Amino acid sequence: MEVEMPAGRRPRARAGSRLGWRRAQAALAPLLAAAWALGGPGAGAAAAAPEGSAFEFERNPGVRHAVPLEEIEKGIPRSDPRDAIPPLYAPRLVPAAEAGYLADGDRVLGLVLQGVARAYPIRLLERHEVVNDRFGDRPVVISYCPLCASGTAFEGKVGGAPARFGVSGYLYQSDLLLWDHRTESFWSQIEGRAVVGPATGERLELLPVENTTWGRWRALHPRTEVLAREQGIYPPAVYEREAYPGYAQSERIVFPVKHRSDRYPPKTIVAGVVIDGLARCWPLPELERAAAASFADRVGETAVRVHFDRQSGTVRVVGPAGEPLPVLRAFWFAWYTFHPRTEVWTAPASR
């Protein structure tokens, strides 16, 4: 599941430039092809598609949709790409003491629910993208999009009923589209809403997952559980290799995005929240320049407090009552294309 990045810098493809992104997509094709070749047949493929399935959108433009269908891109080179990148439907978890394959600096998505702490290493998420888990009787979906460096956690329910989610094999604005088995709708990973299919317009409940390092998470939650490296899909050695070598360091955006901003380099990491429809983000370079590691801020009319751990690059945002808010850590280009009217916090000028 690896792709070789071309040596030297390539001209950046303009948004909407089909030739530019086709060339970039072609460079990524070996990675995507290797992903589904290793994973085998899609484990979540449905025997019979429900009426209005999002997977019919290329043949049936009448399917329900909330975004232009021409902006949905196929990321996997096969006729039915669902679950070609294999999600985890029954994840194996182990205690922290058995996660010797992780180094303190490895990044994880951490979640605490119902008194249970769990960590999902990004090196595993890069290979699976979607994890269906349960905290007691509560279904939870963890997702990670390597192209956007965006990690999210949602309540695993559609229309109030538990649902399983997979990797559709399609992208919107260069971001992963999940699919649910019950309605076969496509769900925007960053927005947490159904954008194509019968559930179009519905939203998933966002949960406050934390993007941090394994060392920090384990120190804060010594009894944490963590995804095991042995999931019965890939040989363990696969997870030792970088899935997208050089991608985060380049300026290339592989698939087209509608909104672009040169305020920061496209792969700059930002942390953002959305409250009552208002988006605000805190770029890591700004936080690193700031004198204070904890400070008060506002998102519209809502008072928040931002905590930045410099050693691990972890950003936490809490609300007026100290409750943790869902924070999306992602590349600047990904945050901006979904939130072109975002407010951007900048470090106060030093005196």
**pLDDT category, 51, cuts 50, 70, 90?**
confident
**pLDDT category, 48, cuts 50, 70, 90?**
low
AA letter at 277: G
**pLDDT category, 32, cuts 50, 70, 90?**
low
AA letter at 226: V
Residue 28: both structure tokens together: 């990524």
Q: What is the mean pLDDT of residues 287-310?
A: 97
Q: What is the mean pLDDT of residues 231-253?
A: 93
Of 267, 273, 312, nearest to 293 (Cα)?
312
Indicate whether 38 pLDDT > 80: no
pLDDT digits 0-9 by tens, 300-333: 999 999 999 999 999 999 999 999 999 999 999 9
Indicate whether 16 pLDDT > 60: no
Residue 6: both structure tokens together: 């071309």
Is the Cα dihedral 196, 199, 200, 204 positive or negative? negative
pLDDT digits 0-9 by tens, 201-225: 999 999 999 999 999 999 999 999 9
Task: Please tell me the predicted confidence (pLDDT) of residue 176.
Answer: 98
Task: Please tell me the predicted confidence (pLDDT) of residue 45.
Answer: 46
Task: Please tell me the predicted confidence (pLDDT) of residue 50.
Answer: 74
Share of the chain above pLDDT 90, in %: 82
Strand order in the sheet with 294-299: 294-299, 302-309, 314-318
**pLDDT category, 43, cuts 50, 70, 90?**
very low
More confident residue, 52 or 350: 52
Q: What is the mean pLDDT of residues 226-246?
A: 94
Residue 350: both structure tokens together: 């030093």
Q: What is the dihedral of CA 54, 58, 62, 65, to 10 degrees?
A: 50
More confident residue, 42 or 317: 317
Burial of 124 (0-12, 13-18, 19+ CB in 10 A): buried
Indicate whether 46 pLDDT > 70: no
More confident residue, 24 or 349: 349
AA letter at 202: E
Q: What is the mean pLDDT of residues 198-202?
A: 97
Share of the chain above pLDDT 70, in %: 85
**pLDDT category, 29, cuts 50, 70, 90?**
low
CB of 16 within 8 A of CB of 147?
Answer: no
Average per-residue pLDDT for the chain: 89
**pLDDT category, 77, cuts 50, 70, 90?**
confident
**pLDDT category, 349, cuts 50, 70, 90?**
confident
Q: What is the mean pLDDT of residues 336-346?
A: 98
Task: Please tell me the predicted confidence (pLDDT) of residue 347.
Answer: 95
Of 131, 168, 176, 138, nearest to 155 (Cα)?
138
Indicate whether 27 pLDDT > 80: no
Question: Mind giving me the DSSP string for 76-127?
Answer: SSSSS-TTSS--BSS--EEEGGG-TT--TT-EEEEEEETTEEEEEEHHHHHH
CB of 326 within 8 A of CB of 206?
Answer: yes
CB of 71 within 8 A of CB of 195?
Answer: no
Question: Mind giving me the DSSP string for 16-70?
Answer: T-HHHHHHHHHHHHHHHHHHHHHH-S-TT--SSPPTT-GGGTTT-TTS-BSS-GG
Going from the C-alpha of 210 to that of each of 33, 151, 268, 323, the distances in angstroms are 30, 9, 18, 13
